[in-house]
Chains A and B, each alone.
Chain A
């Protein structure tokens, strides 16, 4: 009984301290951000890896999410006889919610795993230790540019996702279902405000920090074995997805 209690306490302490490790690591990355931006070339390379290489999956997903939204929204709104509001419904749904969240989840799967496994392999093959031996701080040289690349790429990816999604909804709603084109756009323009767009941008910035921090943390602290790298990659996806959905609820509740 005593032993069980102690194990439980140990488990609780471990999970609390892992939250602490996350917070400290993220705090350190944020503190070093100005210095990291000075090494602009390294950051640009990572914006390419995290952003430009994720472009195809983001655009394809955005198109189909928008088209589904067009179909479902039309079916729903038709029951109330207000299918002209399809543009508003699709735009608000995409800009405020689906754009940032789905982009973050896809980002965790596409770029987050790549970051984690890359850093984990660097750890496993002692490249990070070698840098430390040469008095190069691996956090500054390797981790920070990857983190910043993800942070910069995420809002841009989310904006692209939302834009393509709106066109997807327009494709289905106007071209296939016969909603009036003018009504679609003018009702959207009448109802969507700058604040709504800003809400989505703020969300995707926060998700960018969260997803990138999780990915580089898991990769950097991976157990230096083949299994450890695999586990770090899995944990990246799981932890980022949960964190994104949790943060999404809190941000929505605050900004609504």
Chain B
């Protein structure tokens, strides 16, 4: 009888430790908070270009994380990307003329949505739409624009030389 009790105790401790480890792996090393679901409110914003923005990316004001990107879809009426942001309930005093931009953290870091507050006296409510948005900067576009403008300059200067 004592032997079985020791076995039960050992097994119980092993199983508990195992599940504690699993729980640790699921909750502590991933960022999806459990139970975040129903607090806070939703805002939508349309962007010309979302770049590498992904659901779960932080929404920040002055570097403070105030929410997360909930979903990204495509809106066929405005032909723009539709981003749904979930803002934590305690940040309920964001002026309704604030603007949202997509930034990149560091040179190769992940992208996030930054909100810079406007001057309005009324605040965003659940379901509101952020009117002023600025798209993500796509590095390749920037480089190609730069290269093409350089090429254009050289082309025109070359032709002027020829005429001379």
Residues of A near any B CB (own CB < 8 A): 44-45, 47-48, 51-53, 55, 91, 95, 153, 155-157, 159-160, 162-164, 166, 188-190, 192-194, 196-197, 200-201
Q: Which residues of B contact A51 (CB under 8 A)?
A: 11, 14-15, 18
B26 CB within 8 Å of chain A = yes
Chain B contact residues, CB within 8 Å of chain A: 4, 7-8, 10-11, 13-15, 17-19, 21-22, 24-26, 28-32, 110
**Could you list 25 examples of A-B contacts with CB < 8 Å?**
A44-B11, A45-B7, A47-B11, A47-B14, A48-B11, A48-B14, A52-B10, A55-B17, A153-B14, A155-B22, A156-B15, A156-B17, A156-B19, A157-B18, A159-B25, A166-B29, A188-B29, A189-B31, A190-B31, A192-B30, A192-B31, A193-B32, A197-B26, A200-B25, A201-B22
Chain B residue at smallest Cβ distance from A164? B21
A44 lies within 8 A of B17 (CB): no
**A60 → chain B closest CB, angstroms:** 14
Determine the chain B residues whose CB is within 8 A of the CB of A160 once the complex forms. Answer: 17-18, 21
Contact of B14 among A52, A162, A200 (CB under 8 A): A52
User: 5 other contacts beyond A160-B21, A188-B29, with CB at 8 A cut-off?
Assistant: A166-B29, A192-B31, A194-B32, A197-B30, A201-B22
Which residue on chain A has the smallest CB distance to residue B26? A197
Q: Which residue of A lies closest to B105 (CB)?
A: A190
Interface Cβ pair total, 8 Å cutoff: 75
Distance A155 CA – B10 CA, assembled complex (angstroms): 17
Q: Residues of B contacting A91 with CB < 8 Å?
A: 29
How far, in Å, is B2 (CB) from chain A's closest CB? 14
Q: Which residue of B lies closest to A198 (CB)?
A: B26
How close is B160's CB to chain A, nearest CB, in angstroms?
45
Q: Assuming the A-B contacts A91-B29, A166-B29, A197-B30, are A52 and B21 also in contact, with contact meaning beta carbons closer than 8 angstroms in the complex? A: no
Chain A residues near B4 (CB-CB < 8 A): 45
The 3 tightest CB contacts between A and B, nearest first, are: A156-B18, A52-B14, A159-B21
Chain A residues with CB under 8 Å of B14's CB are 47-48, 51-52, 55, 153, 156
Instruction: Tell me the complex Cα distance, A91–B26, Å.
Output: 12
Return B77 CB to nearest CB of chain A, in Å: 32
Nearest-Cβ distance from residue B104 to partner chain A, whole angstroms: 14
Select one of A45, A156, A188, A193 contacting B21, CB under 8 A: A156
